[in-house]
Each structure stands twice: as C-alpha cells, then as structure tokens.
Structure 1
C-alpha cells in the first residue's frame, strides 16, 4: 500500500511539473506583440514613414440596417510620428477624403497641430474628442519601447480565428486591447474606450507586400458599443511613398 501511494505521489508530481512547464512555455503579452510585429513586417512595418491607402467604404446610421452613405472613393494619407507615446490622440499627420463619384462626402486633415474639415478649422476640444474616438492602432508599433506594458488577457476568437488577447498600456496610461491571431500572428482586432463608447475594429482579408515588408488588411469593420459603424475596403496600398506636405495643410481662410 505504501509503495502504491508513493507511485501515485510521483505521478501527481510529474503531472504538476508538466502542467507548470506548459504554462511557463505560454507566451506572455510582450512576446505575443513581438510575434505580431514580425508578422506585420518587422522593422519595415514598425518604422514606416508614410502610408497611402485607397478603396471604398460603407457608412451606417444610428437607425435601420441599410447603409447611410457609400463612398465609392475613400482615401487616407498618413505620415507617422516615430516618437508616439499616446495611443488615442492625434499624432503625425493625416488626411482622409470620402467621395461618392465626384461628390464630396467629407474630408478631414491634421497637420501636426491643427485639425480641419471641409467646413474649416475644427476647435481643439472638438478635434481631441474626434481623434480620441478614432486613433489607436498605430501605438502597437511602439510596444517594445520603454514605458509601455503588455499584459496577456483571456484568449478569444473572431470569425473562427483563435486569438491571443493583449492589453497594451502606453506611458500616459492609455489602454488598447489587441487580438492577435494564434496561427498567423496577424493583428485581427483592436479595441479601446472612446467618448462614443467601446470601439472595436476587426481586420480581415490580408495581403503581404514587399519592399518594404508590410501586412495589410484589406477589409476593416468598425464598431461602437457593439453596433457596426462602417466598413472600409482597401484596394491599393503604398508604403513610404513621398507625400507633399501641402496635402495636410488646412484650407486657406
């Protein structure tokens, strides 16, 4: 009997050791984001200077199921800030134009200081609220820098893809939740709290570009508090192309 108990104890200890080893082998938040960085394009992706995207978009209203607006021509230009430290505020430079054929739906720009739309200069308080509801994805490029912390949260899935969930906190306390595909390590989801509610983006239909290396999601779906707000379908991507600074400049008064 004593011999039997000793054998059982040894088996239990071995099983516990195996379980502990398996847990220790699981990647932590920082390791997961490092895998996502590599899958996205590594240093080419993280250190990109500019990005130009074009395609089309569908916008939904607060009521009903039909699209409110369809932009047959949707374009974005970005100049990245390599020293970005805040996840959910305006950074670098950006301009977005949405058109339906030749009719302008809206446009918005930020030149590093001033936000503007087709209606003119946007007051700072209003601009800050807008960018706080829209900017967030790019902060993942800074995840390996001092002052950032990455914490793994319970795993999840989206569209049949198993995800590692990682909360990234920037040096100013801004929190962003990223969902990383457990197989491809592509960034499949991104979410954060905004003045408009919980904002979630789902990324799909990926294409790999070269020179520089870049993983681009061609289908992006945006939600606020669980309601689908809009979908963007990118058909053309240019990384590190030269962008005329005048493109970001506010309209003359």
Structure 2
C-alpha cells in the first residue's frame, strides 16, 4: 500500500512538471509561426505584391469615409532588417476609387513621398512608425532579438499564444499566434497615433513558394477601426520595376 502511495505521489508531482516542460516558450512559438507561414521561403522572401480593395473609416460616425475598389501594395524586403517600426526596404501603396486616386505613398529606401510630393524625414519617420511592424517577425531568430511569452488570449474563438518580440533597439511588438494552426492572427504595438492593433482573417495557402496569406486585414488605433483591407491577389518574389518606388517627377 505504501508503495502505491509513493508512486501516486511521484506521479502527482511529475505531471505538472511534465506539462510545464511541454509548454512552448516565446521563441518556440514564433518558430512555429514561421513554419506555418511558409518557413524559410516566407522569412527570406524578396518581394511581395498584393492587390484587392479597402474600406477607410473616419474619426466620427460609423459609415465608411471612403472606399478603394483598387488597392495595391508593392513591397521589396530588407533581409537585414533590425528595426521593428522604422522604414525599411522599399514600399509603394496606391488606393483608387474608379479613376480617382484617393492616396498613394512610396518609399524608395531613402525618400518617402505621397501624391502631394516629398515628405519631410521627421514626418516620414512618424508615418512609418504608425504602419511598419508585422515584417519584423521574420527576423525573430536572429541575434539581438528576444521573445517573451505573455498570458494566452482568445481571438475570434481561437485560442492564441501572445508573444512580445523585442528588437535590438528595444522596440516591442505583440504577436497573437493561433495555438492550433500557428497562424499569426493579431499584432499590436505602440505608435505616435496610439496603440495599433491589427487582425488577420480568411487565410489561404499559396504554393511555390509556400505562403500563408491573410485575405482580410483590419487595422485599429486606440481600438478605433481605421481601415479594412481585402486582398484578392498575391505574388511572392515576382520582379518589381524599381520605378514603382521612385518619387514622381515634379
């Protein structure tokens, strides 16, 4: 009888310890998210081209402020990126409603510009700090980065791990990772506009390269919905003419 009691006691003590050992830490969770997103092909992609439509909301009222039936983004990645919320690589975004350009913005690696002309650097730095943040997860396994698991959460009925990723400059970004599929479902970080939260839904997996793409992305600032983007076409590693990113001639 005593022997069975000892065995029971050992089992009772060992069970929570084994469970704790099996729980992934922050770095392991981000590694699982990397693999689910497409692995090395996803992490080392050189370009991304997306197109679809978007809805933009104002500060007042519940009706959309504007709608872009043609919304496009071209992205050339910096594979040596170390800053989570600074401008990196090259990017251009254009939003059109019919033949009317609602807005466009570009960054050629040095200069930021919009439909109104060149944006001063100080203003540009704040602009990109409001927007850049997702791509840093591709570099989470590199020296200088650290990942800390925080309290788990729920999103759209899915259990998610929440991981704080800190870049070498100390900037922090929160990623919500689906506990089953390991898809990246939420993103959060502080910006000059307030706390920015981004949610990802309606995933599709592409091949050659393998790439997990969210087709419905919603952006919030201080919990106010700013805009929704619905991506319908995705191209990975397709050549992009450098003129796409160049500031327009005066």
Q: SS in structure 1 opposite 2:161? A: strand
Answer yes or no: is 1:236 the counterpart of 2:233.
Answer: yes
Q: Within 5 Å, give how 1:109-120 maps onto structure 2.
A: 109-120=106-117
Answer yes or no: is 1:57 the counterpart of 2:64.
Answer: no
- How many residues align structurally? 250
User: What corresponds to 2:96 in structure 1?
Assistant: 99
Alignment partners' CA distance in 1, 2:109 and 2:116: 19
Structure 2, unmatched stretches of 5+, are none
User: Structure 1 residues 122-131 or 11-20, which shifts more?
Assistant: 11-20
Correspondent of 1:168 among 165, 168, 177: 165
Correspondent of 1:144 among 116, 119, 141: 141
Alignment partners' CA distance in 2, 1:230 and 1:74: 12
Query: C-alpha displacement at 1:11, in angstroms?
Result: 3.2
Deviations 1:167-214 (A, max 9, x none): 000011110000000110100001100011110000010000001110
Alignment partners' CA distance in 1, 2:212 and 2:74: 17
Query: C-alpha displacement at 1:16, in angstroms?
Result: 2.0
User: What corresponds to 2:188 in structure 1?
Assistant: 191
CA distance 1:197–1:9, shift in 2 (3 Å): farther
Answer yes or no: is 1:48 the counterpart of 2:16.
Answer: no
Deviations 1:138-157 (A, max 9, x none): 00000111111011111001
Query: C-alpha displacement at 1:240, in angstroms?
Result: 0.5
Alignment partners' CA distance in 1, 2:13 and 2:223: 41
Query: C-alpha displacement at 1:8, in angstroms?
Result: 5.4
Query: C-alpha displacement at 1:26, in angstroms?
Result: 0.4
Query: C-alpha displacement at 1:14, in angstroms?
Result: 2.4
Correspondent of 1:209 among 206, 211, 229: 206
Alignment partners' CA distance in 2, 1:16 and 1:221: 45
**TM-score, normalisation: structure 2:** 0.97
RMSD: 1.2
- 4+ runs deviating over 2 angstroms: 6-14
Answer yes or no: is 1:124 the counterpart of 2:121.
Answer: yes
Q: SS in structure 1 opposite 2:181? A: coil
Structure 1, unmatched stretches of 5+, are none
Query: C-alpha displacement at 1:9, in angstroms?
Result: 6.4
Query: C-alpha displacement at 1:244, in angstroms?
Result: 0.4
